[in-house]
Amino acid sequence: MRSLFLSICAILFVGCNNQSETTAKEPEANTKYALQVEGMTCQSGCKKLIETKMAKHPGVVSFSINFDEAIANVTFDDSMTDTTSLRMAIAEINNGAYSASGLAESFEKK
């Protein structure tokens, strides 16, 4: 009985230690893109909200908006997201209050 108990404990211990830990892949800054952002009315609300939400978008390494020009510059990992996904994510913020169109000439793959 004792050997059965020890065997079960050993199996559980080994089984628990052999589980591989899943770690999230860190995004690689391999693509740059600029977007024209429409619908922003202020820097403290709209601009900040979009930047905060987009910084959390999967694959985004950096996201910043020049409010005066209404241009967003984004650096992202193209294996985790793409330009269409970025535009769609902006359009979903604040119940569709914003829209974005890509500036194709700005697309730069490293």
Q: Confirm whether 25 is domain-assigned.
A: no
> Within a domain: residue 87?
yes
* Entry pTM: 0.76
Determine the length of the chain.
110
Residue 18 belongs to some domain of the structure? no
Q: DSSP string covering the chain, please? A: -HHHHHHHHHHHHHHHHTPPPP-PPPPP--EEEEEEEE----IIIIIHHHHHHHHTSTTEEEEEEETTTTEEEEEE-TTT--HHHHHHHHHHGGGGT-EEEE-GGG-EE-
Q: Answer whether residue 61 shows pLDDT above 70.
A: yes
Decide if 21 is inside a domain.
no
Q: Could you list the residue range(s) of the whole structural domain that residue 72 is in?
A: 31-109
Q: Could you report the per-residue pLDDT of 4-57, keeping only the tens digit for each?
A: 555 565 555 555 554 545 566 788 999 999 999 999 999 999 999 999 999 999
36 is a domain residue? yes
- Tell me the percentage of the chain whose pLDDT exceeds 70: 78
Question: How many distinct structural domains can be found in the chain?
Answer: 1
